Amino acid sequence: MKCWFITVLMVVPLFLPGAIAFENDAPLDDPVLESRARDLARQIRCLVCQNESIFDSDADLAKDLRQIVRERIILGESDLAVTDYLVARYGDFVLLKPPIKPKTYLLWFGPALIMLFAGIGVVRFLKRTGAKGRHPEALSTSERKRVEHLISGEEVD
């Protein structure tokens, strides 16, 4: 009985509507444009609460930026033009996903580069030690004798 109650307590919140700031604004009349605004808002960082998008953020500035996004979409601007407008004012930081450009190559391709070098290192290491492992040096006659003695348990002189 108690277990059942706790399960309900844990599951019910999953189905409650989230508090999404974007939904509190007046939506655009055209659902297609509104969904574009929604997608764009998800990509734009709220400068006040920096790890939230303006889609989620309740900050005053986020609200203003959502308003600007909607206005510019109504004006017929492309998604790129809208983000360019914001980047011109707030820099690349306003985009939650950093753009790929020479300054960010290290950020984007650095991990792959590290993996590549590590992979090369591992392959080289395995090749070297592996080659040795597959073809061990043969025992000399005296060594073989000693091993045989050790196995049979007799003392070697």
Partner 1 sequence: MNSRRLFYLLPVIVFGVLCAFLLRGLSLDPSTVPTALADKQVPVFDLPPLDSQTKGLASSDLVGEVALVNVFASWCLPCRVEHPFLMELADNGAFALHGVNYKDKPEDARAWLDELGDPFLRIGADQDGRAGIDLGVYGVPETFVIDRAGRIRYKHVGPITQSDLEKYLLPLIRKLSR
Nearest of 78, 76, 46, 75 to residue 62 by alpha carbon: 46
* 82 in contact with partner 1 (CB under 8 A): no
* 21 in contact with partner 1 (CB under 8 A): no
Piece of the chain touching partner 1 by CB under 8 A; list 15-23, 26-34, 62-70, 129-137:
62-70
Piece of the chain touching partner 1 by CB under 8 A; list 11-19, 26-34, 59-67, 143-151:
59-67
* 28 in contact with partner 1 (CB under 8 A): no
The minimum distance between CB 22 and partner 1, in angstroms, equals 18
48/64 Cα distance (integer angstroms): 12
Piece of the chain touching partner 1 by CB under 8 A; list 44-52, 75-83, 133-141, 144-152:
44-52
Identity of the amino acid at 111: P
Nearest of 13, 10, 82, 88 to residue 43 by alpha carbon: 82
Residues in contact with partner 1 by CB under 8 A are: 47-48, 50, 60-61, 64-65, 68, 87-91, 93
